[in-house]
Amino acid sequence: MSPIYVALDTPDLEKAKAIAARVRHHVGGIKLGLEFFMANGRHGVHEMADTGLPIFLDLKLHDIPNTVGKAIQALRPLNPAILTVHASGGRAMLEDAKAAAPTGTKVVAVTMLTSLDGSDLRSIGLSPDPHEQVVRLAELARSAGVDGIVCSGEEVKAAHAAWKDGFFVVPGVRPANGPVGDQKRVVTPRAALDAGASILVVGRPITQAADPDRAAREIEATL
Ligand SMILES: O=c1ccn([C@@H]2O[C@H](COP(=O)(O)O)[C@@H](O)[C@H]2O)c(=O)[nH]1
């Protein structure tokens, strides 16, 4: 099974379905985020689940424990393979998120967004070392009982060393010399896997390609 989850960041359900149909033999699952969910809601998730590919619901929930727990209870009928919350929501929120999720759903905690770097951390009053930030939040996530974390390929080796059976989601991956867009902590898909990623999230390098099927195939061939 391919470790690539394609991020279908579009409000257009028909477009999402069309790309999924083109790349389905070269990806292991579909990631649906806020842009898709705000436009298409639960109906859209059900439609994408009809592709037969596992669904990663990347809603990055972040609120008080009761609110996050109730939100996840409301999402239970969607039975996603993977669901995200923010690690910085704190221990009680992570515990309530895991308790509310369906048994088969991996709850993973976003540590430090791949669109941020050390200077962004400093600007929000945190120590400017991404490794320190990711490893500290990974330990919080592990001890709170969730299944894994989201981090960049630059920190996944250190996080994996401290959490051998954790599940590591790595977005912000780019083919060598590809445009990075708004991502700041970027590695190649091969480097992320070698460093310990469990799955790779790839959006624009596939979805914005003239031939998404070929782009997915070419990335898969590097793994
Ligand atoms: O730290 C994070 C957490 C989530 N994402 C999501 O992954 C994809 C990446 O898309 P690209 O087009 O490959 O940049 C996108 O859906 C983000 O919401 C992330 O990039 N970084």
Q: What is the pLDDT of residue 223?
A: 97
- Asked if residue 9 has its Cβ within 6 Å of ligand 1, the reply is yes
Q: Quick one: which atom of ligand 1 is closest to the CA of 112?
A: 1
- φ/ψ of residue 173, rounded to 5: -100, 140
Pick from 201, 88, 103: which is nearest to 152 by CA? 201
> Taking residues 14-41, what's their average pLDDT?
98
Task: Report pLDDT for 21.
Answer: 97
Domain 4-221 coded CATH 3.20.20.70: yes
Please count the CA atoms within 13 angstroms of the CA of 191 that sit on its side-chain side.
Answer: 14
User: Ligand 1 center to residue 150 CA distance, Å?
Assistant: 10
Instruction: For residue 187, report the phi and psi dihedrals to the nearest 5 degrees.
Output: -135, 170
The model's pLDDT over 36-87, given as tens digits with 9 standing for 90+, comes to: 999 999 999 999 999 999 999 999 999 999 999 999 999 999 999 999 999 9
What are the beta bridge partners of residue 6?
30, 202
Could you list the residues known to form a binding site for substrate, using ranges. Answer: 9, 31, 58-67, 114, 174, 183, 203-204
Q: From ligand 1's centre to the CA of 92, what distance in Å?
A: 25
ipTM: 0.99
What average pLDDT does the segment 92-108 reach?
98
- Give residue 205's pLDDT: 98
The pLDDT tens digits of the residues spanning 164-223 come to 999 999 999 999 999 999 999 999 999 999 999 999 999 999 999 999 999 999 999 999
What is the structure's pLDDT at 86? 98
DSSP the chain: ---EEEE---S-HHHHHHHHHHHGGG-SEEEEEHHHHHHHHHHHHHHHHTTSS-EEEEEEE-S-HHHHHHHHHHHGGG--SEEEEEGGG-HHHHHHHHHHS-TTPEEEEE-S-TT--HHHHHHTTS-S-HHHHHHHHHHHHHHHT-SEEE--TTTHHHHHHH-TT-EEEE--B--TT---TT-SS-B-HHHHHHHT-SEEEE-HHHHTSSSHHHHHHHHHHT-
pLDDT of residue 120: 98
Distance CA 176, CA 84 (A): 27
User: By alpha-carbon position, which residue is closest to atom 2 of ligand 1?
Assistant: 113
